[in-house]
Structure 1
């Protein structure tokens, strides 16, 4: 299979370790591309809801695939989010081609680009973390219910539904929060002479130009791998939103079937450790 080359890939809000994570689809996507560099923009592993009782092999295989890219020398920047905030303790750490940073500033073809997760601009996160964690549990439960509904909906030929999207789009405060989030980060980016600002956190993929008092900024959001299954791809000085459900090539990638896969999670973990030794 000829892999599609990508100059820079941005992924965020994968939430490995939760029922809502589409690890299988993400793995199909990763196996269909050849990125020259990657930015993991937060909430990659959901430490808030992590449980040893739920860690499917596909989730471990995503980690293993990323570690394999590090072993090959692919530059990967890890920007922790609020769900994997424990990684912020390791800011400045470098293991092989992996670097852990709290934010990232890049010059891409003469355009200044600012990347960060975005939870710093979330008032709930700043003042009521317990409420945010409670909301995360409720969100994951809603996604799980949504999966059951979609199973029967597709069987009946009605297609997929998104409960959380409908709720977000129908609640004025949720829409207002997203708009405020976007305008705030763009204003700060413009004040610091950035032409592009890239976030995650709000699970809302976007690519738009926002006019501020200090100038126009291109705002991008990589979305998530819970509902939208999206990423950001940069090629030939152009950004685009990648959507898994529009990618027939990635959807056709065959993964090793569980029944044929003799590697248990423990074996995959040992393999992961072996590859990490190469990068240190």
Structure 2
């Protein structure tokens, strides 16, 4: 019998299912270990930008199956659209059972207001040069594929994993400034609108800190990603924490192997239809 951790809210983002960089097995282990009242999928869960019929492993499909099972068992699942799954925005404000698709969400948590959104609307590079951002996405995917090969070799040698993309980001001053500006703009807007918490993703940088200016203060939270950081946000007992798969120990949860009701062909067909509908717009 599996004993899962009961939490009020779990937030994950930037999973990028359908890409080589996605660590679906890590995420599946995490999802199998928790029993949240609410599961917030804060954007870029399925990478429709880079979706290919040639690559959608069974482990990726099992993540979707697990989320659907959680919803069927009473978990409220809120899917907030991101830029890599922006094609779902045409279905915003749609609810199917316990699953809802929205562009943003505001929740009251123990008397405090929490503002959830993916964050790409505050990214000028996405808004003004989408084609360049998509090109960068393919480059990032290639980098993570190379990185996975490097880490496979390092693990075989008993050495620590190494993040090439993180090294690139930290070595480019412009990237660091971009992240700092992003966090500053979002936090100031949250303060201006009276939100106690602002929760986003998009930049793959897990973080939790108080931000204060002359107008007030807010807590900025970023759920990170499941490409290189393997992090989530959890809310329980009136407190937030960053869950880190590499540091927070888990009981060994076995991946569920029962027959899936959702076949990979059905998923591919559904995403292909969405992509074709987007091209016709």
Q: What do the CA deviations read for 1:15-49 (whole angstroms, capped 9, x no partner)? A: 00000001011111111111111111000000000
Q: Could you tell me how far apart the structure 2 residues matched to 1:223 and 1:76 are? A: 19
Q: Could you tell me how far apart the structure 1 residues matched to 2:264 and 2:48 are? A: 22
Q: What do the CA deviations read for 1:107-137 (whole angstroms, capped 9, x no partner)? A: 1011111110000010110100000000000
1:105 matched to which residue of 2? 106
Runs of 4+ aligned residues of structure 1 deviating over 3 Å after TM superposition are 261-270
2:65 matched to which residue of 1? 64
Whether the 8 Å contact between 1:16 and 1:44 is mirrored in structure 2 is yes
Q: Could you tell me how far apart the structure 1 residues matched to 2:266 and 2:209 are? A: 40
Q: What do the CA deviations read for 1:179-203 (whole angstroms, capped 9, x no partner)? A: 0000000111111011110000000
The alignment status of 1:266 with 2:263, answered yes or no, reads: yes
1:235 matched to which residue of 2? 236
1:193 matched to which residue of 2? 194
Partner SS, residue 217 of structure 2: strand
Q: Could you tell me how far apart the structure 1 residues matched to 2:75 and 2:11 are? A: 14
Partner SS, residue 263 of structure 2: helix
Residue 127 to residue 268, structure 1, CA distance change in 2 (3 Å): closer
2:253 matched to which residue of 1? 253
Query: Structure 1: which 5+ residue stretches go unaligned?
Result: 274-280
1:278 matched to which residue of 2? none
Partner SS, residue 150 of structure 2: helix
Q: Could you tell me how far apart the structure 1 residues matched to 2:126 and 2:193 are? A: 24
Partner SS, residue 248 of structure 1: coil
Whether the 8 Å contact between 2:14 and 2:45 is mirrored in structure 1 is yes
Partner SS, residue 132 of structure 2: helix
1:171 matched to which residue of 2? 172
Deviation at 1:265, TM superposition (A): 7.7
Q: Could you tell me how far apart the structure 1 residues matched to 2:129 and 2:166 are? A: 23
What TM-score results when the alignment is normalised by the length of structure 1?
0.91
Q: Could you tell me how far apart the structure 2 residues matched to 1:58 and 1:102 are? A: 27
* Paired residues for 1:110-149 under 5 Å: 110-149=111-150
Q: Could you tell me how far apart the structure 2 residues matched to 1:267 and 1:187 are? A: 43
Q: What do the CA deviations read for 1:60-118 (whole angstroms, capped 9, x no partner)? A: 11101111112222111111000000111111111001111111111101111111000
Q: How many residues align?
A: 267
Deviation at 1:158, TM superposition (A): 2.3
Q: Could you tell me how far apart the structure 2 residues matched to 1:125 and 1:148 are? A: 29
2:274 matched to which residue of 1? none
Query: Structure 2: which 5+ residue stretches go unaligned?
Result: 271-281
Deviation at 1:209, TM superposition (A): 0.7
Whether the 8 Å contact between 1:60 and 1:269 is mirrored in structure 2 is no
Q: Could you tell me how far apart the structure 2 residues matched to 1:9 and 1:28 are? A: 14
Partner SS, residue 36 of structure 1: strand
Task: Say what the alpha-carbon RMSD is for the aligned residues.
Answer: 1.9
Residue 69 to residue 263, structure 1, CA distance change in 2 (3 Å): closer
Partner SS, residue 7 of structure 1: strand
